[in-house]
């Protein structure tokens, strides 16, 4: 028979005291008495089924990093014990008591003093921590949006980057909900305190907490899905999850140890920060060693090479990926040992594919082909992606003479079958780099510099890239 029991991730707000204490009373009636509480679990021990009355109050002198027990806490508890209230469990400022007398005098009898104590013990720290987390979450969301707007071509299909930014969305919603809920409760509690009425409860947002956990779990699964093609990236993601868990566990152990040693709150806090920095530095060193140690391997590659060859003492990769447009589609070549590589990233916003066709080094002078295809699923990103292509060509123009400046200029789109076609000019000389535009697709193609494209070749390029 089990003598202990845990409830993992209880979704009760400590100001939702009526529902919380009713739950604890129900557990006691079933023979389970609360013995400890934490952010992640509540622990019970088996006892004789009893009818117990529970109450939740707060002690402002205790804190996350304060010495344990906090000065004055024993006196605080002894005073309550005189009325039959025994300590069941505590966590920082939160104190949970129980009483065998169902008609016992309430722990708090003065609503105004009770409200002042709540504001001092948990209200101020709650607002500070919530605001700090909100700033961090909004910064991460804003940074993700800024990256997308600033560099849309490279980020439109970057699921990992989008998921990383999106992970802070449920956290931001939960924080905002918590702040607004506390503000509403504070207003109602102030009105109750003025009349001497009991303070109201602040209902637990269980549905929002569950939704946040489900969302977070889906994000983790989606993150694994986006990197599943790379064994190294899967290993790295698992390592990151283990690292965060390790930091959390070690930080909690160090915090509790320093509390028992009566370390000042500021010293405890600085020790935790130092520990986090040391572990982070160690993790980064390990990551660098992993990356350097696997240089030249396919561990971190999106997909392994089909084969390799050596040229001038260096190992080169060869790919046999299917690509929408090949050199053979445009001209006859007496060569069949190509490397064709496709790197395609896809997200709910669109996709970005990078394609290339190269001959093996040391096997003669053969043409090379490179192109990018961007498919846009969200219309407002289309113009951003188009401008990104244009700006990238002109990125260095302010540092070079006018006759060498590069820019896109409009050319006749009819041979290409596109709505609009732009061609790169260096000064007044046209080069074989084109930007083809369709309603939901953009393609930038680099043609061998010495080719003089025919209308038939333009048509083939347009058809292949529009369909690819």
What's the rounded Cα separation, in Å, for the pair 281 and 406? Answer: 43
CA distance 72 to 63: 13
State what percent of residues in the chain have pLDDT above 70.
Answer: 94
Q: Note the residue count of the chain.
A: 468
**Both tokens of residue 181?**
């809920």
Q: Which residues are 454's β-sheet partners?
A: none
Question: Order of strands, edge to edge, in the sheet holding 94-99?
Answer: 53-58, 94-99, 86-91
Query: Per-residue pLDDT tens for 368-427?
Result: 999 999 999 999 999 999 999 999 999 888 888 888 899 999 999 999 999 999 999 999
Span of 110-119, 236-245, 285-294 with lowest mean pLDDT: 285-294
The 10s digit of each residue's pLDDT in 360-379 is 999 989 999 999 999 999 99
Closest C-alpha to 54, from 76, 79, 82, 80: 80
- pLDDT at residue 89, rounded to an integer: 94
Q: What is the DSSP string of 283-319?
A: HHHHHHHHHHHTTTSSTT-SS--SEEEEETTEEEEE-
Tokens of 412: 């006749």
Task: Provide CB contacts within 8 A for 468, sequence distance 6+.
Answer: 323, 324, 325, 353, 373
3-class SS at 374?
A: strand
Q: What is the pTM of this model?
A: 0.72
Q: What's the CA gap between 420 and 336, in Å, rounded?
A: 34
Residue 292 has pLDDT above 90, yes or no: no
Kindly report the average pLDDT of the chain as a whole number. Answer: 88
């Amino acid at each position: 028979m089990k003598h202990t029991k845990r409830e993992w991730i209880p979704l009760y707000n400590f100001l939702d005291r009526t529902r919380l204490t009713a739950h604890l009373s129900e557990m006691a009636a079933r023979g389970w008495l609360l013995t400890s509480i934490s952010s992640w679990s509540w622990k019970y021990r088996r006892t004789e089924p009893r009818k117990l009355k529970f109450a939740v109050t707060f002690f402002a002198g205790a804190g996350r990093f304060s010495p344990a027990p906090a000065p004055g806490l024993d006196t605080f508890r002894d005073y309550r014990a005189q009325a039959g209230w025994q300590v069941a469990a505590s966590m920082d400022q939160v104190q949970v008591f129980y009483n065998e007398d169902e008609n016992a005098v309430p722990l708090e009898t003065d609503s105004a003093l009770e409200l002042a104590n709540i504001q001092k013990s948990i209200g101020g720290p709650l607002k500070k921590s919530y605001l700090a987390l909100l700033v961090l979450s909004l910064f991460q969301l804003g940074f993700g949006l800024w990256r997308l707007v600033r560099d849309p071509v490279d980020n439109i299909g970057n699921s990992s980057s989008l998921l990383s930014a999106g992970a802070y969305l449920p956290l931001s919603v939960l924080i905002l909900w918590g702040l607004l809920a506390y503000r509403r409760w504070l207003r109602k509690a102030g009105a109750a305190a003025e009349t001497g009425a009991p303070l109201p409860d602040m209902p637990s947002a269980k549905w929002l907490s569950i939704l946040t956990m489900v969302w977070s779990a889906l994000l983790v699964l989606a993150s694994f899905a986006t990197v599943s093609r790379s064994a190294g990236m899967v290993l790295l993601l698992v390592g990151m999850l283990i690292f965060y868990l390790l930091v959390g566990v070690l930080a909690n152990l160090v915090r509790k140890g320093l509390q028992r040693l009566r370390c000042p709150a500021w010293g405890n806090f600085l020790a935790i920060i130092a520990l986090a920095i040391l572990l982070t530095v160690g993790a980064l060193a390990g990551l660098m060693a992993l990356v350097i140690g696997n240089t030249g391997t396919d561990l971190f590659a999106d997909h392994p090479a089909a084969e390799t060859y050596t040229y001038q003492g260096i190992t080169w990769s060869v790919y046999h990926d299917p690509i929408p447009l090949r050199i053979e589609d445009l001209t006859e070549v007496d060569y069949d040992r190509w490397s064709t590589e496709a790197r395609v990233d896809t997200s709910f916003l669109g996709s970005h594919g990078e394609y290339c066709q190269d001959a093996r080094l040391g096997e003669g002078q053969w043409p090379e082909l490179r192109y990018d295809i961007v498919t846009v699923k969200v219309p407002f990103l289309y113009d951003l992606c188009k401008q990104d292509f244009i700006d990238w060509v002109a990125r260095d123009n302010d540092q070079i003479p006018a006759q060498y400046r590069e820019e896109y200029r409009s050319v006749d789109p009819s041979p290409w079958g596109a709505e609009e076609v732009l061609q790169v000019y260096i000064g007044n000389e046209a080069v074989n780099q084109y930007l083809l535009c369709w309603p939901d697709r953009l393609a930038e193609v680099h043609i061998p510099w010495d080719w003089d494209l025919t209308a038939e070749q333009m048509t083939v390029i347009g058809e292949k890239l529009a369909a690819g």
